[in-house]
C-alpha cells in the first residue's frame, strides 16, 4: 500500500512524527512538496531562494526522491495521491488561517492524517484551567512549561520507503543548506552560555539565527529544547521558543488577529497614509541611523536582529503614524523567517495593540536605543556605508531626519491617549 507525505513547514526527516504515522499506515510513501503560487506571490527573492535551499537539502536527504509540483495544493495533492494509488496523505498540522482553510479543502478530497505540528506544544493545547486561551505571555509560559512536550521522535530518511517518481519538476540548480546540526552545536557551546546577557546586542552576533530553520521546520523546536541543558542562557532561549509557541496559539484562537488589531479599542485610532514616508522607511532612508541600518539589513540579508525589529517597528507606528500592517507586510515579503504568527504579533506588540501590549506610552527613542544596544556604532557602520567614517557612537546622531522624534512622540502620545480616553 502507498501513501503520501506532504511536506510544508517541516522540511526535515529527523524528529518528524508524520513520517512515523506514514510508515505505520503504508509500506511505501511519496514525498511531496507543492509550490503554491499564492504563497510564492507574497514572498520576496531571498525567501524563495531560502525555500529552494531547504528543498534541495531535503531532496538530498531523501536520496533524490522529493517530488516538487507547482500549483494549487487543493488540486495537486489529491491528484498526485491518486496517481500513486494512495488513499491517504500525511502532514504536520498547520495552525495558520490560510493553511487551515487549505487543509480543510484538501481533506474533502483525500484522507488527511495530521501528526505533530511546527511547535513544541500544538497550538490550542495550553489553556487556562477554565479552558479559555491565555492572552498574556507570562502565565502562558508557565502553563506551557507545566504542560511539557514529547521528546523528539526517532526518525530519519530511512523511516519510510520512498517511492521514486517523475511526477515533479526540477528545482533550479543551487546550494543546499549548511550543516544545521553543526551550526546548532556551535551556538550551543559557544554562544548559549552568554545568550541571556548578549542577545539584545545587534553588533555582537550573539543569537542563534535559527529563525529561518524553525520557520521552515528544518529543525523542530523540540529537538532544540531537548538539547538546551541548564543555566541562564538555556532558560532565556527556552523563553524565546515559548514566545514562538504563544503567538502561534494566539493566532490559532484568533485567526483574524493577523489582519486587525488584537485589542479592538485601537480601531478608533487615526493613522496616516503617507506613502513617501513609508518608502523612506522601507529603503532605510529615514535619517535615523539605527533604523536605517535595520531596514537595510533586512533588504540585504532577509533577516534583522530582534532589538532592531522592535525599534524600526516602533518608528513606523509611533514616529511615522503609519498602520502596523504596512510594516508587517513589508517584513513578510523580505524576511526569510517571515512567519505570520510571530510577525503580526511582534508588530502588534510594538504598536501597543497586541496581547501583552507594550504600554502604548512607551515610545522607543531610535537614538538612545542605538547608543545603548550598539554602543560602539559597529552595527550601523556595517549596514550604512555612507556613515563608515563616523567614529564611535556619534554614528547614531540623526542626519537629515524625515521627522523630528520629540515632536512625533508627542503626537503619538496624544493619539493613543485619545483612544485610551
Give SS3 for 247.
helix
Sequence-ordered alpha helix ranges (H) in 34-84:
37-41, 45-61, 73-83
Query: How far apart, in whole angstroms, are the C-alpha atoms of residue 66 and residue 73?
Result: 16
Gap between the Cα atoms of 71 and 37, Å rounded: 6
Q: Which is nearer to ligand FAD, 155 or 211 (CB)?
A: 211
Q: Specify the residue, 2 or 342, whose C-beta has the smaller distance to ligand FAD.
A: 342
239 binds ligand FAD (CB under 6 A): no
User: From the list 346, 352, 354, 377, which residue makes contact with ligand FAD (rule: CB under 6 A)?
Assistant: 346
348 binding ligand FAD? (CB under 6 A): no
**Binding string, 247-286, against ligand FAD, x = CB under 6 A?**
x---------------------------------------
- Asked if 120 and 88 count as a contact pair (C-beta separation under 8 A), the reply is no
C-alpha cell at 122: 500544538
- Residue 244 labeled ligand binder: yes
Residue by residue, DSSP assigns 360-415 as TT----HHHHHHHHSTTSHHHHHH-GGGTTS-GGGGGS-SS-SS-HHHHHHHHHHH
**297 forms part of the interface with ligand FAD (CB under 6 A):** no
Burial of 240 (0-12, 13-18, 19+ CB in 10 A): middle
Among 67, 120, 241, 280, binds ligand FAD (CB under 6 A): 241
- In 3D, which of 133, 115, 325, 92 has the Cα closest to residue 247? 133
Q: Is 166 annotated as a binding residue?
A: no
Minimum gap (Å) between residue 215 Cβ and ligand FAD: 6
Q: Which member of 53, 199, 201, 381 binds ligand FAD (CB under 6 A)? A: 199
Phi and psi, residue 84, nearest 5°? -100, 10
Q: Name the residue nearer to ligand FAD (CB basis): 43 or 211.
A: 211
Please name which of 207, 233, 225 lies closest in space to residue 379, comparing C-alpha atoms.
Answer: 207
201 known ligand binder: no
Q: Is 96 one of the binding residues for ligand FAD (CB under 6 A)?
A: no
Question: How near is the Cβ of 223 to ligand FAD at its closest, in Å?
Answer: 13
Residues 204-233 that bind ligand FAD (CB under 6 A): 207-211, 214-215
| 416 annotated among ligand-binding-site residues | no
**Of residues 90 and 333, the one with the C-beta less far from ligand FAD:** 333
- Distant-in-sequence contacts of 382-391, Cβ < 8 A, 24+ apart: 382/203, 382/293, 383/284, 383/292, 383/293, 383/294, 383/296, 383/297, 383/300, 384/284, 384/289, 384/292, 384/293, 384/296, 387/289
Piece in contact with ligand FAD (CB under 6 A), picked from 62-70, 111-119, 177-185, 237-245: 237-245
Indicate whether 335 belongs to the interface with ligand FAD (CB under 6 A): yes
Q: Can residue 244 be called a binding residue for ligand FAD (CB under 6 A)?
A: yes
DSSP 325-354: HHHHHHHHHH-TT--HHHHHHHHHHHHT-S
Nearest approach in angstroms of CB 212 to ligand FAD is: 8
CA 193 to chain CA centroid, nearest Å = 24
Name the residue nearer to ligand FAD (CB basis): 199 or 277: 199
CB of 245 to ligand FAD, least distance (A): 8
Residues in contact with ligand FAD by CB under 6 A are: 199, 207-211, 214-215, 237, 240-241, 243-244, 247, 306, 309-310, 313, 331, 335, 337-339, 342-343, 346-347, 350
Indicate the annotated binding residues for FAD.
Answer: 195, 207-211, 237, 240-247, 337-339
Amino acid at each position: 500500500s502507498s501513501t503520501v507525505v506532504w511536506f510544508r513547514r517541516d522540511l526535515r526527516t529527523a524528529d518528524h512524527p508524520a513520517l512515523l504515522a506514514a510508515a505505520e499506515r503504508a509500506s511505501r510513501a511519496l514525498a511531496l512538496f507543492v509550490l503554491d503560487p499564492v504563497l510564492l506571490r507574497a514572498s520576496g527573492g531571498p525567501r524563495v531562494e531560502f525555500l529552494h535551499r531547504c528543498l534541495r537539502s531535503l531532496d538530498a536527504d531523501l536520496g533524490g526522491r522529493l517530488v516538487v509540483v507547482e500549483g494549487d495544493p487543493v488540486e495537486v495533492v489529491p491528484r498526485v495521491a491518486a496517481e500513486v494509488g494512495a488513499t491517504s496523505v500525511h502532514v504536520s498540522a498547520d495552525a495558520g488561517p490560510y493553511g487551515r482553510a487549505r487543509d480543510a479543502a484538501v481533506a474533502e478530497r483525500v484522507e488527511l492524517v495530521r501528526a505533530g505540528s511546527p511547535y513544541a506544544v500544538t497550538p490550542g493545547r495550553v489553556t487556562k484551567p477554565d479552558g479559555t486561551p491565555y492572552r498574556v505571555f507570562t502565565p502562558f509560559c508557565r502553563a506551557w512549561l507545566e504542560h511539557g512536550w514529547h521528546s523528539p521522535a526517532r526518525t530519519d530518511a530511512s523511516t519510510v520507503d520512498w517511492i521514486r517518481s517523475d511526477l515533479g519538476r526540477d528545482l533550479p540548480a543551487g546550494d543546499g543548506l549548511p550543516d544545521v546540526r553543526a551550526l546548532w552545536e556551535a551556538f550551543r557551546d559557544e554562544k548559549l552560555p552568554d545568550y541571556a546577557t548578549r542577545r539584545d546586542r545587534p553588533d555582537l552576533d550573539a543569537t542563534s539565527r535559527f529563525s529561518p530553520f524553525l520557520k521552515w521546520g528544518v529543525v523542530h523546536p523540540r529537538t532544540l529544547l531537548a538539547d538546551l541543558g541548564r543555566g541562564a542562557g538555556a532558560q532565556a532561549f527556552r523563553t524565546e521558543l515559548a514566545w514562538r509557541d504563544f503567538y502561534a496559539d494566539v493566532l490559532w484562537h484568533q485567526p483574524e488577529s493577523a489582519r486587525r488589531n488584537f485589542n479592538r479599542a485601537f480601531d478608533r485610532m487615526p493613522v496616516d497614509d503617507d506613502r513617501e514616508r513609508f518608502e523612506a522607511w522601507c529603503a532605510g532612508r529615514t535619517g535615523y541611523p539605527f533604523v536605517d541600518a535595520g531596514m537595510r539589513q533586512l533588504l540585504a540579508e532577509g533577516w534583522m536582529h530582534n532589538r532592531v525589529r522592535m525599534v524600526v517597528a516602533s518608528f513606523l507606528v509611533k514616529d511615522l503614524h503609519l498602520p502596523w500592517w504596512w510594516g508587517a507586510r513589508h517584513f513578510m515579503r523580505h524576511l526569510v523567517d517571515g512567519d505570520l504568527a510571530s510577525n503580526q504579533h511582534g508588530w502588534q506588540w510594538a504598536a501597543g495593540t497586541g496581547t501583552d501590549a507594550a504600554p502604548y506610552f512607551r515610545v522607543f527613542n531610535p537614538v538612545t536605543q542605538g547608543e545603548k544596544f550598539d554602543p560602539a556604532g559597529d552595527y550601523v557602520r556595517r549596514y550604512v556605508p555612507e556613515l563608515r567614517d563616523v567614529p564611535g557612537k556619534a554614528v547614531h546622531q540623526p542626519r537629515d531626519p524625515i521627522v523630528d522624534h520629540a515632536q512625533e512622540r508627542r503626537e503619538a502620545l496624544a493619539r493613543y491617549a485619545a483612544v485610551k480616553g
